[in-house]
Structure 1
Amino acid sequence: MKNIAISADFRKNTIKAVLSIGLFIITYLALIAATIGLTIGLCYLGIGLVSLKASGITFMLALALASIGFLIMFFLVKFIFSQKKTDWSHLTEIKRSDEPRLFDLIQEVVNETGTQFPKKVYVSTEVNASVFYNSSFWSMFFPVKKNLHIGVGLMNAVTVDEFKGILAHEFGHFSQRSMKVGSYVHNVNQIIHDMLYDNQSYESMITSWANISGYFSFATAIGIKIISGIQLILKQVYNVVNINYMALSREMEFHADEIAANVAGPQSLVTSLVRMDLAAHSYNGTLDFYGGKIRDLKKPSDIFPQMRHIMFFWASEYKLDIINGLPNATLANRTRFNKSKISFSDQWSSHPSDKDRINRLNSLGITKPDSDVSLATILLTDQKSLQERLTAKLFQNVPYEGETSEHTLVEFTEEYENSISKNSFPKKFNNFFDDIDISGIDYENAALPELSEEQLFSRESVDTIYHSLGMKQDITTLNNIAAGLYKIKSFDYDGERHTIASASNLLQKIELELAETDKQIGNNTASVLGYYYNIAKNKGLSEEFNSKYSLYTSSFTKFDEDTAVLREMYELASFIHETTPLDVIKRKMEKVYHKEREFREQVRTILQSEGNAIDEETKEVLTKYLDNTAPYFHSEAYNDYAISLLFGCMNAYNTVLNRIIFNNKKHFIDFLATLTETGKITETTI
C-alpha cells in the first residue's frame, strides 16, 4: 500500500502534542531535581541528629526524615516499574488451525497495511474489534507485539468487505511512520495518567510504612502533603497534554480511516460505521433480555440468532432497506429523533463524530468496487460451534440459583416482540404520542381537523415534536455554555458560527421559537384527541373515552405528587454516599427518618392498590424494604444491608410510578387505535 501523506491538521496537532509533552518533561525534571535536593538535605539533617546524640530515638527520626524524600522520589519514578495489564479472561484465543480463512484475511490486511501479524488472536461475543497489548514505560523503547480482538457480534453485523475495512483501520493505527508519533504520544499520555491516578499499590505501600512506627507515620503524613502539591502541579500540566493528545487522537482516527479506505474502499467503512449503533443496540438488548431471565433459569445456547433478530426487528420498525443481507442504516435514520442544531468541537473527545468521519471518507475520492459482500461469519470454519462456546463462556459466571434450561429462538422472538408491544404504542400513530404529555387537553371543544387519520400522524407532524425536544436540549446546552461549563471559544447553531458572548441572545430567540412550536404541538394534540372523541361519540363510546382519559390525567397528577416525596427522599439520603462527620450524620439521619414515614406509606399504598401492575421481582424489593425495621445508622456505623434496601426500594418505586402512568396512557391510546378499526371494538389489555 502507498505511504499516505499526513494532513496539515495531523502535523499541527502532532507538533502541539509533542510540545506539551516537552512542557511535562521540563516540569517533571524540575520536580525530580527538587526532590533529589530535598532528599539529600533531609539525609544530612538526619545524620546531623544522630551525630549530636546517637540513640534509638535520633536514629528513628533520621530514618523517618530520609524516608520523606525517598517516598516522594518513588512516587515520581514508580511508573517505570508499572505495567498496564489487560484483562483477557473474557476472551477466547483461536489459532490458524482453528480458523484458516479468518487468519488468511488477517494476513491479507497485515500485508496491505505494512504491519506485523498479531502475536495472538482472540474472539469474544462483543460487537467490537481492537488491537491491544500490555503497555509499560519500556514499550516506548522496545517493540511490543500486538494482539487482535475480534467480536463475533461484529462479524454477525458486517460483510467481509466491511470487516476487512474495520481490521485495516485497527492495524492502520500502527502501520506507518507518521502514525507511530501518535502511538508514542498515547503511551506518554497513559504514563502520566497512571502516575497521577493509578496509585492504589503505592498508597498501600506507604500505609504499611506508616504503620511500622509513629515516627514513620508522621514522616508519611508530611510526604503525602508534599506529594499532593506535586500532583496539583502535574494535573495542570496533564490537562494541557491530554487536550493536545485528544486533538491528535482525532486526527489519528481520520488517518487510520484513510489507510483502511485504501485497503477496503471508503464505502465499506461508511456502511459499517453507521450500522454499528444498531448492532451494538441489538447485542445489548439481547443481554438485557437475558438479564431478566436469570430468575427464570433460562439462557440461550447461542446468543447471536437472538441478536440478529433484534437487529432486523428494528430495521423493519425504522423501514431500513436490506442490502447484502444486512440493514442499510444511514446517518439520517440515526438522527431523525435528534433535532439538536448545536455543534462544537469537543476538545476532550478522542474520536471525531461519525458525521465528520463519513464526510472525510467521502472526500478522499477513492473508488473500490465490492469484492465480497457475504456475511463476515462465512470466514468461520464452524460458526455454530464457536458461537455456542462463546455464549457458554459469556453466561458461565451468571449467578443462577438452580439448573438452567435452554431458551430457544422461537421463545425469544415471541417474548421479545410481546415485550416491545407491551411497552410501545400502536404503529399507526407513527411515534406521535411517545414523547408528549396529552393531559389537560380540551378535546370536547377542539376544532375538528379536515385531515385523514394518516395525515394527522404524518412525518411532518411528528417531526414537530422532535424539533421541540431538540430545542429544549439546545436550551440546556446554551445555558451550560453561557455558564462556562464547556471550555470552547465558539460553536455552530444551525450552520452559523456563534461566539460565547452571543449565547444569551441566541437563547432568547430559541425560547421564543420553542413557545410557538409547543403551541403548535398543543393544537395538533387537541385536533387529534378531538378527532377520536368525535368518532367515539358517533359510536356511543364517549363515556368510555372520558373514563380512560380521566384515568390517565389523574395518574399524571398523582405522579407529580408521589415523585415530589421520592425526590426529597433521594436528596435527604444523598449524604450517605459521602464522607460526613458523625454529628452531621445523626442530624441528617433524623430528617431521613421523619420524611420516610410519608414515603413508607406511599410504598405500602401502591403495593395494595397497584399490586397487579407490579412484577414479582419489584414486589419483592418493595416488600423487603417495608419489612425492614433495622436503623440505617447505629453504634457509629452504617447498616449497609438496610441502606441497600432503602435505595433499592426508591429505585423500584420510581420505576413503578413511571410504569403506572405509561400503562394508563397506553390503555387510552390503544383504545383510540380501536376506534377506527373495522369490526367490533375490543377492550385492550396491558
Structure 2
Amino acid sequence: MYLGCSLFRTSQPMSKLLHYPPNPVEIPVTLTQPTRGYTMQVMKVIAGLLGFFLVYLALMLGALALAGTFIWGGISLIHLVKDHPPYSFVVFFFAVIIIGWGGLLLFFLIKFTFSPYKDSAHYRVQIYEEEHPRLFAFIRQLTKDMQTSMPKKVYLSPDVNAAVFYNSNFLSMFWPVRKNLEIGLGLVNTVHLSEFKMIVAHELGHFSQRSTKLGSYVYAIHKSIYKMLYQREAGSTKMLKKWAEIASTINIYNVIPHVTLMLMQGIQTVLGMLYHLIHRLYMGLSREMEFHADAVSIAVAGSQPAINSIRRLALSNHCYAYCSKHLSEAAEKDACFENIYSAQTALLHYISKHHQLRIVDGLPEISDEYLAKTISSRVQYKDQWASHPSDAEREARIRAANIKTEMDTTSPWVLFNDASELQENITQSLYAERFPGRGPAKYRESSSGFIKDISLLHTRYRFPEIFAGFYKNRPFRDIKGITEGLPFKGETKDLYNNTITTKIKRLFQNKIDHALLVAIADKHIDTRHFEFDNQKYERSAARSLAISLETEMEDQSAWLVQYEKDLYRFHLHMAEQKGSEAAQTFMGLYNNVLIHQRNTREMESQATMVIRQVQVLFNMEDQRLHALLDQLKAVKKEEKVLKPLLQNMLKTVEIPAELDKTFVEDTRQFLETNYTYLKENAVHQEEIVRLYRLTHRAVSNYTDVTELRKKDYLEFTAALLVKN
C-alpha cells in the first residue's frame, strides 16, 4: 500500500521557491527503510572493524611500550654513569642515540595516527549564499524535505561530478564531522532540474536517515583507516627516507631512521592485510549504501529523473572529457574555449544527432528503444570488489519502486547568479590551473568553431553510408588467391544492412564474453555465481560455457570470412564489367590498404618497445650513472629498430598537412641526428621527450593514413554499387 512517508516532508509549502521541482505525493512506507541486506552488511563490516581495532590497539601499545623503553633506558644509562667519568662520554653518546630512537618512534606513531588529512581541493571553488542565494535555498529546502542537516560548505568543481566529502583525522573515526557538498558544473550543464534534485539528494542521502546512521558511521571509519594507512603514511615515509639519506653520511646515526622506518612499515603491512580483509566486506556495504541513497533520492525526486540521469551520465562524461582534452590541444596554439560548458552542450547535441537520439528540452533522451539496439554482454556477475552497483542494477531497483512525480525540465543553471559569467570564469580558471606558466590565452575558441572542426574531422574519415558500418573499427581481411569476380547470390540491396552489422558486433562481443568466462573459470574474477543469457550458473560451469561459446564464435568467424570473400568477388565482378582498368584499380586500392595495415602493425609493435624502455628509464629508482647507461643502451637498441621503419614511412606514405604539419620535417631531423640521451651524466630530458612524442605521432599518423586508404577503396566501391 502506498502512503505518505513520515520521513519526508512532502507537504512542505514551497511557494517562496520559484525553482524547486515538486516532491512525489505518495511513496511506500518501506522505501527508505534499510533492507535486510543492508543491515547484514553493516554487521559484517562492524565485526571486521572490531577485529582491526583490536590488532591496531595491540600494535600501537606495543610500539609505544618499545618507544618508552628506549627513552627510559637511555635516561637510566645517563644517571647510571654520570659518576663514572672514564666511561661517561661513550655511554652518554650511546644513551642519546637510544633516547633519540625512542623519541623518533614516538613522534612518528603520533604523526601516523593523529595528523589530519585533507581531501585534495584541486579545481574546487567554495561558494557562498550571498553569491548564489537560489542554489542555497534549493539545497536548504531539499535538506528539510530529507530531514538532514545543511552541508558545512558548498564547492563548485568544473567536471561531471557530485560528491559529499570531509576532512578527516583520527578523531573522525569516533565523531564523524559535518560534510561538504561538491557540485560539478559539467553535471549541472547536462541534467534537468528534477534530475539535479535527485543527484544532490542521492549524495545527501548517504547521511540523511537515522536508521542508516550506523552505515554512515562505518563509512567514516573505513575512509579514515584508508587515509591513515595509505595517504597520511606517505608523508611520514618520505620524511624518514630523507633523514636516512642524510644520516648515511654518519654511519652510527644511520641505523635509527632505517630501523624506525622498518618498524613503521611493518605496522602498516600488518594493518594493511587486515584492512584488505574488511575492505571486501565493506564493498558489499558500499553497494547497499548506494541502493539506499537511490531510494532516498527518488523519495523526493521520483524514479524517472533518476533513470534519465543514470542513462545520460556516460555521455555527459564523454563530452566533458573530450572538451577537457581539446583544452590541452588548444593551449598548444595559445587558445582557450570561451566557455567549456557551451562546447560540452554543442558536442552533446552533435553526438545525439549522429546517433539519432531525440533532444527533449535541450538534452538527449536515451530511450528504451535505443538501448534495445545496443549489443550487451551475455555474462553478468557481481563484482565483489566494486564499490558501486552497476547502472543496470540501479535502474532495475529504481524502476521497480516506480515513484511518480512531475518532471521539471528547467536547466539547473537558473539556480546560479550570472550563469554565463560563472561558466566563462570557471573555464578561464581551469585553463590557468592546468597551464600555470602560459598566462591568459591569446585566442578564444567558440563552441560553433569547435563543432565545425569536429565535423570536418568526421567527414574526412567517414565511410560511405551505403556500407552501414560494416567496415567500421576493424581491419580489412587479407584475401589471397582471388583474381576473378563472381555475381552475388541475392539482392544487391541486401549486401550491407543493420542485420549484417549486428551479427559482426555480436561476434566481437562474444569474444569479450568468452574472455570473461575463462577469467571466471580460472578464478581471476572473484565470484561464485554468474549469469549467462539470463540463466544462473555456478562458477564450475564457466569452463564448459566458454567451450560452447568458442564453438559458436568459430561458426560466426567462418561465416564472416566467407561473406567477406563473397563481397570481394562481387565488387571485383562489378569492376570487371567497367573494364580491366577499373578491375586493376579496385584490386590495387584493396592491396594498398593491406600494405598500410601491415606497416601500421609493425610500427605499433616497435613503438610499444620504445615506449616501454622509456617508461622504465623514467621509473628507475637507481639514478647512478652506470644504471642510467645500461638503460640508455636498451633505449638505443630499440631506437635502431625504429629508425628504418621511420625511413620507410617517409618513402612510402604521404602524410597530409592537415594530419600533422611538421611530422615529415621532425622525422627527418630525428633520423639525421644521433641522440645520446645523456647530458652532464644525467638523462637528456629533451631528447627522450622528442623520441617519445615522435614515436606516438608515427603510430597515430600511420593509423590515420590507413583509414584514409580504406576510405579511398570504399568510395570507389560505393560508386560501383550506385552505378549498378
Q: Do Structure 1 and Structure 2 share a fold, with TM-score over 0.5? A: yes
Contact 1:69 1:223 in 2 (8 A): no
Match of 1:682 in 2: none
1:225 Cα deviation (Å)?
A: 2.2
Match of 2:588 in 1: 547
CA distance in 2, matches of 1:160, 1:138: 38
Residue by residue over 1:54-98, the C-alpha shift from the partner in whole angstroms, topping out at 9 and shown as x without a partner, is: 534433333333444444444444344322323435234433343
**What secondary structure is seen at the aligned counterpart in 2 of 1:363?**
helix
**What secondary structure is seen at the aligned counterpart in 1 of 2:655?**
helix
**What secondary structure is seen at the aligned counterpart in 2 of 1:322?**
strand
CA distance in 1, matches of 2:321, 2:395: 25
Contact 2:151 2:178 in 1 (8 A): yes
Residue by residue over 1:93-146, the C-alpha shift from the partner in whole angstroms, topping out at 9 and shown as x without a partner, is: 433343333333222211111122233333343222222222222334446333
Q: In structure 1, which of residues 141, 144, 148 is the aligned counterpart of residue 181 of structure 2?
A: 148
**What secondary structure is seen at the aligned counterpart in 2 of 1:457?**
coil
Residue by residue over 1:529-566, the C-alpha shift from the partner in whole angstroms, topping out at 9 and shown as x without a partner, is: 34443443344432322221111012122333334433
Relative to structure 1, the CA distance from residue 617 to residue 17 in structure 2 (aligned partners, 3 Å threshold; closer, same or farther) is farther
Q: In structure 2, which of residues 237, 246, 258 is the aligned counterpart of residue 203 of structure 1?
A: 237
Residue by residue over 1:606-649, the C-alpha shift from the partner in whole angstroms, topping out at 9 and shown as x without a partner, is: 24543533503655764564465342357764333333233223
Residue type matched to 2:39 in 1? R
Counterparts of residues 561-580 of structure 1 (less than 5 Å): 561-570=602-611, 575-576=616-617, 577-579=619-621
CA distance in 2, matches of 1:493, 1:461: 24
Relative to structure 1, the CA distance from residue 449 to residue 91 in structure 2 (aligned partners, 3 Å threshold; closer, same or farther) is farther
1:165 Cα deviation (Å)?
A: 0.8
1:336 Cα deviation (Å)?
A: 5.4
Match of 1:459 in 2: 498
1:568 Cα deviation (Å)?
A: 4.0
The reply to whether residue 289 of structure 1 matches residue 326 of structure 2 is yes
7-16 or 629-638, which moves further after superposition? 629-638
Contact 1:156 1:375 in 2 (8 A): yes
Residue by residue over 1:430-471, the C-alpha shift from the partner in whole angstroms, topping out at 9 and shown as x without a partner, is: 322113322323484456141343x33332211111211112
1:327 Cα deviation (Å)?
A: 0.9
CA distance in 2, matches of 1:574, 1:383: 43
**What secondary structure is seen at the aligned counterpart in 2 of 1:86?**
coil
CA distance in 1, matches of 2:215, 2:673: 56
Residue type matched to 1:508 in 2? I
1:417 Cα deviation (Å)?
A: 0.8
Counterparts of residues 115-194 of structure 1 (less than 5 Å): 115-142=148-175, 144-194=177-227
1:280 Cα deviation (Å)?
A: 1.3
Counterparts of residues 24-103 of structure 1 (less than 5 Å): 24-47=52-75, 49-50=77-78, 51=80, 54-88=87-121, 90-103=123-136
Match of 1:684 in 2: none
The reply to whether residue 488 of structure 1 matches residue 516 of structure 2 is no
387-396 or 156-165, which moves further after superposition? 387-396
Residue by residue over 1:508-531, the C-alpha shift from the partner in whole angstroms, topping out at 9 and shown as x without a partner, is: 222211111111222333344344
Relative to structure 1, the CA distance from residue 207 to residue 171 in structure 2 (aligned partners, 3 Å threshold; closer, same or farther) is same
Contact 2:299 2:403 in 1 (8 A): yes
Relative to structure 1, the CA distance from residue 625 to residue 115 in structure 2 (aligned partners, 3 Å threshold; closer, same or farther) is farther
Contact 2:484 2:569 in 1 (8 A): yes
1:365 Cα deviation (Å)?
A: 3.7
Q: In structure 2, which of residues 45, 55, 68 is the aligned counterpart of residue 17 of structure 1?
A: 45
Match of 1:250 in 2: 287
**What secondary structure is seen at the aligned counterpart in 2 of 1:279?**
helix
CA distance in 2, matches of 1:177, 1:634: 64
Aligned residues: 677
Contact 1:621 1:652 in 2 (8 A): no
Match of 1:359 in 2: 396
CA distance in 2, matches of 1:639, 1:328: 52
CA distance in 1, matches of 2:354, 2:486: 32
Contact 2:303 2:399 in 1 (8 A): yes
440-449 or 317-326, which moves further after superposition? 440-449
Residue type matched to 1:655 in 2? S
Structure 2 unmatched runs, 5+:
8-31
Residue by residue over 1:232-271, the C-alpha shift from the partner in whole angstroms, topping out at 9 and shown as x without a partner, is: 2111101012112221111111001000111010111011
**What secondary structure is seen at the aligned counterpart in 1 of 2:182?**
strand
32-41 or 571-580, which moves further after superposition? 571-580
Match of 1:231 in 2: 268
The reply to whether residue 222 of structure 1 matches residue 222 of structure 2 is no
CA distance in 1, matches of 2:671, 2:368: 49
Residue type matched to 1:12 in 2? M
416-425 or 63-72, which moves further after superposition? 63-72
Counterparts of residues 372-383 of structure 1 (less than 5 Å): 372-383=408-419
Aligned-residue CA RMSD in angstroms?
3.0
Contact 2:164 2:204 in 1 (8 A): yes
Contact 1:331 1:355 in 2 (8 A): no
Match of 2:359 in 1: 322
Contact 1:439 1:556 in 2 (8 A): no
Q: In structure 2, which of residues 448, 452, 473 is the aligned counterpart of residue 410 of structure 1?
A: 448
Contact 2:331 2:441 in 1 (8 A): no
**What secondary structure is seen at the aligned counterpart in 2 of 1:491?**
strand
**What secondary structure is seen at the aligned counterpart in 1 of 2:593?**
helix
Relative to structure 1, the CA distance from residue 672 to residue 76 in structure 2 (aligned partners, 3 Å threshold; closer, same or farther) is farther
The reply to whether residue 388 of structure 1 matches residue 416 of structure 2 is no
Match of 1:683 in 2: none
CA distance in 2, matches of 1:579, 1:115: 50
CA distance in 2, matches of 1:445, 1:368: 62
Match of 1:450 in 2: 490
Match of 1:109 in 2: 142
CA distance in 1, matches of 2:527, 2:60: 34
Residue by residue over 1:265-289, the C-alpha shift from the partner in whole angstroms, topping out at 9 and shown as x without a partner, is: 0111011110111111112222233
